[in-house]
C-alpha cells in the first residue's frame, strides 16, 4: 500500500487553527452532541473553544450543548469572545435556514450571535450552490453576526468542489476505518494552498465491540481499538485539521485530550484498523 502522509504529532485540545479567512481561531476538537452540560464545561477547561449546535429534528440531542454553553456564558461576557459557536441548518430551502440560526441564538442566553453558519448534509450540486450562496449573502449582510461559513458533506465530490473554488471556511467530511475512500478520491486532490479547514465527523464508526471481537477468534497479537484510537486514526492524517466529536460525559473529553498527547498511529496501525473494520463491515464501505 502506498505511503500515507502522516502527522509528526497529533494536534492538542488547546491548539488554535485559523478558521478559513474569517479571523477566528478554533481548537482542533469541535464538540457536538453530549448528554451532559458538564461535558461542555470540561471541554472548555481542556482548552477546547469550538462548539457545534443544530436545531430541527436533532434539537433534543443538543440540549446538553445548549445548556453547557449557557453556563459558560452566564455572567461572563469576555468568555463569549473566546469561544466559536457553529450552528448548522439542514433545511434545503435557503429562505428558511435563518429560522434555525435565530432559534439557537434565542435559546442560549448570552450567545447573542452565531460565529459560523453551516449548511448541513449538502447532497447535490444545485443544493450546494444555492445554500452556500444563501449563507454567503447572510454573512456579507452581517446577519446573525457570523464571520465564517461552512458545510457538512456526505458526497466527497462536493467537498472537493468547495475546496477547489475556496467557497467555505470549513468543510466537514466523513472518514474512518470503515469508510476510508477519502484516501483515494479526496485527500490527494486537496489544494496545497487551501485556507479552509477540513474537519471530520463520525470518526468513531464501528460496530465492533468486545463481544464481536472475541467471536472473530483473531490471533493474540490483534487488539481492539477504543474510541480514542478512532480519533487518532483520523487525526493521524495530515489532510484532516480537526474532528467533530460527541463525548457523552466529561470523562470522555478528558480521555480524548490525554489520547492526543500520544503519537499518531503508524501506517501499519491504520492499515490494521481498516482491515479489522472490513471483517465487520463486509465489504468495507467507501
Give residue-wise pLDDT tens across range 50-93: 999 998 778 899 999 999 999 999 988 899 999 999 999 887 77
Ramachandran region, residue 247 (left: φ > 0; alpha: ψ -120 to 50; beta: rest): beta
The strand pairing partners of 6, in sequence order, are: 237
pLDDT confidence bin for 2, thresholds 50/70/90: very low
Give residue-wise pLDDT tens across range 75-86: 888 999 999 999
Q: Cα–Cα distance between 6 and 135 in angstroms, integer? A: 34
In degrees and rounded to multiples of 5, residue 251 shows phi and psi of -65, -30
In degrees and rounded to multiples of 5, residue 7 shows phi and psi of -75, 145
Task: Single out the residue of 231, 225, 239, 241 nearest to residue 264, CA to CA.
Answer: 231
- The mean pLDDT value for 239-256 works out to 96
Q: Cα–Cα distance between 252 and 189 in angstroms, integer? A: 34
Residue 72 in contact with residue 44, Cβ under 8 Å? yes
CA torsion sign, 181 to 182 to 186 to 187? Answer: negative
Q: Give pLDDT, residue 95.
A: 64
User: 134 by DSSP, 3-state: which?
Assistant: helix
Residue 64 in contact with residue 35, Cβ under 8 Å? yes
**Domains in the chain, CATH or no CATH each:** 17-280 (3.20.20.100)
**Residue position matching grid coordinates 481542556:** 46
Ramachandran region, residue 144 (left: φ > 0; alpha: ψ -120 to 50; beta: rest): left
Amino acid at each position: 500500500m502506498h505511503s500515507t502522509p502522516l502527522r509528526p504529532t497529533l494536534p492538542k485540545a488547546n491548539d488554535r487553527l485559523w478558521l478559513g479567512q474569517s479571523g477566528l481561531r478554533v481548537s482542533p476538537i469541535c464538540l457536538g452532541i453530549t448528554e451532559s452540560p458538564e461535558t461542555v464545561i470540561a471541554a472548555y477547561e481542556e482548552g477546547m473553544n469550538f462548539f457545534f449546535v443544530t436545531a430541527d429534528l436533532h434539537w433534543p440531542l443538543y440540549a446538553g450543548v445548549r445548556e453547557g454553553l449557557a453556563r459558560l456564558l452566564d455572567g461572563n461576557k469576555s468568555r463569549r469572545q473566546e469561544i466559536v459557536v457553529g450552528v448548522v441548518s439542514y433545511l434545503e430551502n435557503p429562505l428558511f435556514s435563518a429560522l434555525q440560526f435565530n432559534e439557537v441564538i434565542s435559546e442560549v442566553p448570552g450567545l447573542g450571535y452565531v460565529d459560523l453558519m453551516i449548511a448541513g448534509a449538502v447532497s447535490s450540486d444545485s443544493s450546494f450552490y444555492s445554500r452556500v450562496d444563501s449563507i454567503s449573502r447572510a454573512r456579507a449582510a452581517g446577519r446573525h453576526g457570523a464571520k465564517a461559513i461552512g458545510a457538512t458533506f456526505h458526497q466527497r465530490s462536493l467537498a472537493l468542489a468547495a475546496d477547489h473554488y475556496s467557497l467555505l471556511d470549513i468543510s466537514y467530511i466523513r472518514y474512518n476505518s470503515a469508510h476510508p475512500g477519502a484516501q483515494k478520491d479526496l485527500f490527494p486532490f486537496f489544494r496545497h494552498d487551501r485556507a479552509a479547514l477540513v474537519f471530520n465527523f463520525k470518526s468513531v464508526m464501528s460496530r465492533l465491540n468486545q463481544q464481536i471481537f472475541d467471536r472473530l477468534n483473531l490471533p493474540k497479537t490483534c487488539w481492539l481499538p477504543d474510541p480514542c484510537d478512532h480519533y487518532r486514526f483520523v487525526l493521524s492524517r495530515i489532510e484532516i485539521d480537526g474532528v467533530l466529536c460527541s463525548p457523552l460525559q466529561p470523562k470522555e473529553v478528558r480521555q480524548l485530550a490525554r489520547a492526543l498527547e500520544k503519537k499518531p498511529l503508524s501506517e501499519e496501525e491504520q492499515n490494521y484498523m481498516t482491515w479489522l473494520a472490513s471483517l465487520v463491515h463486509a465489504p468495507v464501505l467507501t
